[in-house]
């Protein structure tokens, strides 16, 4: 009898734990379904239709997806985003890791002030940050123009066809480097100090400790930051949209796939094809993320 009572009490405890688990995860599940799953499903549903003034809206199946394969605007936008990804992801993560390692070696008070300063650009909304950089890039009244004029030089044309790539890379890099730095710095703080002491006893200098202990120990956080950076870069939208007001001839409405989807929906009234572009971009982001996670999972030896 005592054993049966203990089993009933154990089952009741497990049942209460499951119930509380659903209570805490339920609100997130509702938000996830309502604001992500349902819109994605509706976007896919809309992408299966086409609208013309003659026939109205009619079911066309996968015709929009066949069309997007030959869409030069979408292809060029994706190629440009891939170029930004190849440049910005290593640059952001390299700076974030270097700053995190540097702050980890500083005294606590100075490190705290430095973390706030480096993190501050991320705390500023992306729209405000892009507007501020747009002002600084201005050829007529930007501060760069005044500084270069002091030395009798002409300021670089940041918003020209030759300078816009580097200008956008600069804006996004400083927008997100502080965020990744905080993640990596937090991971560094969880490493036991005994490892450092043992390495110093063995004669390792700070550079060797950083290379052989710190970087491998934060590899999990580095992979997570890489995935965040990949997803964010593939969804490139806010910064080029804001700077387009100052350089409309350099940044067209189809500059990135996200901008192209917005132009199709609100500029050309092609909501069905816009849904196709959006859903295709989301699928590409998922495939990129899964492929990168599989690649890093195998290279780390966790898949054996």
Tokens of 203: 């004669």
Please write the tens of the pLDDT for every residue from 148-203. 888 888 888 899 999 999 999 999 998 899 999 999 999 998 888 888 888 888 88
Distances (CA, A) of 9 to 5, 13, 14, 23, 93: 6, 6, 9, 21, 50
| CATH fold for domain 69-299 | MetI-like fold (1.10.3720)
Q: d(Cα 289, Cα 41) in Å, to the nearest integer?
A: 20
Please write the tens of the pLDDT for every residue from 11-41. 666 666 677 778 788 888 888 889 888 988 9
- pLDDT the model gives residue 22: 80
Q: Could you tell me if 281 and 258 are in contact, meaning their C-beta atoms sit under 8 angstroms apart?
A: yes
Please write the tens of the pLDDT for every residue from 53-82. 777 788 998 999 999 999 999 999 999 999
Q: d(Cα 147, Cα 154) in Å, to the nearest integer?
A: 9
Q: Stretch 293-298: mean pLDDT, rounded?
A: 75
Please write the tens of the pLDDT for every residue from 219-267. 889 988 998 998 888 889 999 999 999 899 999 999 999 999 999 999 8
pTM, to two decimals: 0.84
Tokens of 14: 């497990």
| Nearest Cα to Cα of residue 104 among 206, 200, 205, 229 | 206
Q: Stretch 125-129: mean pLDDT, rounded?
A: 90
Q: Could you tell me if 240 and 254 are in contact, meaning their C-beta atoms sit under 8 angstroms apart?
A: no
Question: What band does 119 get if pLDDT is binned at 50, 70 and 90?
Answer: confident
3-state secondary structure of 56: strand
Question: What band does 109 get if pLDDT is binned at 50, 70 and 90?
Answer: low
Largest CA distance in the chain: 95
Q: Could you tell me if 277 and 260 are in contact, meaning their C-beta atoms sit under 8 angstroms apart?
A: yes
How would DSSP label each residue in 140-155?
A: TT-HHHHHHHHTT-PP
Q: Could you tell me if 167 and 159 are in contact, meaning their C-beta atoms sit under 8 angstroms apart?
A: yes
Domain boundaries, the chain: 69-299
Mean pLDDT for all residues in the chain: 86
């Amino acid at each position: 009898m005592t054993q049966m009572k203990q089993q009933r009490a154990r089952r009741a405890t497990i049942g209460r734990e499951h119930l509380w688990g659903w209570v805490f995860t339920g609100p997130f599940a509702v938000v996830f379904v309502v604001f992500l799953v349902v819109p994605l499903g509706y976007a896919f549903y809309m992408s299966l239709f086409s609208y013309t003034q003659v026939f109205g809206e009619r079911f066309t199946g996968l015709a929009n997806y066949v069309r997007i394969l030959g869409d030069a605007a979408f292809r060029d936008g994706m190629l440009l985003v891939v170029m930004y990804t190849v440049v910005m992801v290593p640059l952001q993560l390299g700076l974030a890791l270097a700053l995190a390692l540097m702050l980890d070696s500083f005294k606590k008070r100075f490190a705290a002030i430095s973390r706030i300063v480096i993190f501050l650009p991320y705390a500023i909304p992306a729209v405000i940050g892009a507007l501020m950089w747009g002002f600084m890039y201005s050829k007529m009244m930007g501060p760069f123009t005044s500084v270069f004029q002091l030395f009798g030089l002409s300021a670089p044309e940041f918003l020209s066809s030759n300078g816009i790539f580097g200008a956008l890379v600069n804006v996004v890099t400083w927008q997100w480097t502080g965020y990744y730095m905080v993640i990596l710095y937090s991971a560094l703080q969880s490493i036991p100090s005994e490892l450092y002491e043992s390495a110093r006893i063995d004669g390792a200098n700070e550079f060797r400790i950083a290379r052989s202990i710190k970087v491998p120990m934060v590899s999990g956080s580095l992979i997570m930051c890489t995935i965040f950076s990949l997803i964010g870069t593939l969804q490139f939208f806010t910064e080029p949209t804001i700077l387009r007001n100052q350089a409309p001839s350099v940044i067209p409405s189809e500059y990135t796939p996200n901008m192209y989807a917005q132009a199709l929906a609100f500029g050309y009234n092609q909501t069905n094809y816009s849904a196709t572009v959006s859903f295709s971009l989301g699928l590409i982001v998922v495939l990129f993320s899964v492929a990168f996670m599989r690649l890093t999972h195998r290279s780390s030896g966790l898949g054996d």
